[in-house]
Amino acid sequence: MKPDNTYIMLGFVPQPNLQNNLIGSLNMAEYTIREKFLAVMRDGDVSKGFPIIEWAGWWNLTYDNWIRQGAPQNTDLRKWYELEEHHQIWFGPNRQSGLPVKDQSDYDRIRTALYPEPKFDPAGMENRRKRQESGDAFLWLTLEGPFWYPRTLMGIQNHLYAFYDQPDLMKQINEDLAEFNIKVIEEVNKYYIPDFMTFAEDMSYNHGPMISYGMMDEFMEPFYNRVVPELTKRGTIPMIDSDGDIEPLISWFEKVGLQGILPLERMAGVDVSRIRKNHPKWRMIGGFDKTVMHLGEKALRQELERIKPAVLGGYYIPSCDHQTPPAVSIDDYKLYVRLLKEFSDEVSKLVKG
């Protein structure tokens, strides 16, 4: 049984009577899924095409609608939709009691319980390693970052006040988190090296970042300076997961060693082609406007044309820019997948000349 603070994310709503780590490989092309992923994300090479993925778990409302429309229950819908395989492990601190943290005494009281020794199910980890080794899947890890994690302890309002009112507590929390995350990395690496990883942050909204660059330097940079080298020295691509308008933050992220981001929300004004022009090797996953997914073939093709310059520039896997909305029907999604596959082939041919 996995510990309570481990989340195995497979890109679909958890369902009963399913093994949670072995999913059939599709191998629809001459290259394996992992070969395509590494070519795009490590080398910026789209000549093999790109993996066709849904990086996030299904929205419950979307999943329920699809079941009502006739999708099979107790089935991996990624495989049913002929998407390609990836596995995410999210491992975070244990915070089941004693919240919210209001001050130093609150944190001291629960501190020991927050940071258990990281442990994983050996059989599940071995299964994932084999899928990675065969090329049938790429693997990723998610850890909690120095903006996200204190907020989960304190609540949104108290967290933002704490940058001013309790700076020492904020710094201690993030020092403890860095030490914990390094232990998680070391434990995961006993089984396999994730191909990439994300730090959960969600530190922007649709008008930009929630804190200043000065605060980022003071409260977040020491964390990243400690943790990122533990990833890059092993070959894992370090990325960040943040909603909202993240474009103003990319130069700062690069400064602390991060190499990419997801989900690149179009509704927040994010433009993947502009990012590619300004940051040629910045890795990206997502960026396809989810609000057009139910509007028919013409709208989908227009969206693919919009993001084409970024895809041709490499280091970018186009995918839904967050969870697929409930308005998207089964037929809508099947059309989206078909056009995305055609687009991958088109991009490959264009690059090969």
Provide the domain count of the chain: 1
Does 310 score more than 50 pLDDT?
Answer: yes
Does 23 score more than 90 pLDDT?
Answer: no
Mean pLDDT, rounded, for 270-299? 97
* Look-up of token digits 């309790």: 166
Alpha-carbon distance values, 290 to 27, 239, 243, 325 (Å): 26, 21, 13, 7
What's the CA gap between 95 and 87, in Å, rounded?
Answer: 24
Nearest to 23 by CA among 97, 102, 61, 80: 80
87 in Cβ contact with 8 (< 8 Å): yes
Q: Is the peptide bond before 100 cis (omega within 30 degrees of 0)?
A: yes
Alpha-carbon distance values, 341 to 86, 87, 265, 297, 350 (Å): 17, 20, 21, 14, 14
DSSP 247-275: GGGHHHHHHTT--EEEE--GGGT--HHHH
Q: Dump pLDDT digits (tens) for 134-164.
A: 999 999 999 999 999 999 999 999 999 999 9
Mean pLDDT, rounded, for 333-339? 98
What is the β-pairing status of strands 138-144 and 260-263?
unpaired
Does 26 score more than 50 pLDDT?
Answer: no
Does 296 score more than 70 pLDDT?
Answer: yes
In a domain, 251, yes or no: yes
In this prediction, residue 206 carries a pLDDT of 87
Return all residues near 332 (Cβ < 8 A) that are at least 6 apart: 293, 294
As a whole number, the mean pLDDT across the chain is: 91
Q: Dump pLDDT digits (tens) for 156-211.
A: 999 999 999 999 999 999 999 999 999 999 999 999 999 999 999 999 988 889 99
Q: Using CA atoms in the order 80, 81, 86, 88, what is the torsion angle rounded to 10 degrees?
A: -80
Q: Dump pLDDT digits (tens) for 80-135.
A: 999 999 999 999 999 877 899 999 999 999 999 999 999 999 999 999 999 999 99
262 in Cβ contact with 321 (< 8 Å): no
Q: Is the peptide bond before 263 cis (omega within 30 degrees of 0)?
A: yes
In a domain, 1, yes or no: no
181 in Cβ contact with 118 (< 8 Å): no
The range of the structural domain enclosing residue 213 comes to 6-352
By residue count, the chain amounts to 353
- Looking at residue 41, its amino acid is M
263 in Cβ contact with 316 (< 8 Å): no
Q: Dump pLDDT digits (tens) for 12-22.
A: 333 333 333 33
Q: How confident is the model at residue 29 (pLDDT cuts 50, 70, 90)?
A: low
In a domain, 52, yes or no: yes
In this prediction, residue 15 carries a pLDDT of 32
What's the CA gap between 313 and 108, in Å, rounded?
Answer: 49
In a domain, 150, yes or no: yes
What's the CA gap between 161 and 56, in Å, rounded?
Answer: 31
Does 9 score more than 60 pLDDT?
Answer: no
Q: Using CA atoms in the order 271, 41, 280, 299, what is the torsion angle rounded to 10 degrees?
A: -30
Q: Dump pLDDT digits (tens) for 278-290.
A: 999 999 999 999 9
What's the CA gap between 161 and 251, in Å, rounded?
Answer: 26
What's the CA gap between 74 and 3, in Å, rounded?
Answer: 23
**CATH code at position 79:** 3.20.20.210
Q: Dump pLDDT digits (tens) for 232-260.
A: 999 999 999 999 999 999 999 999 999 99
Between 21 and 262, whose confidence is greater? 262
Q: Dump pLDDT digits (tens) for 90-101.
A: 999 998 778 999
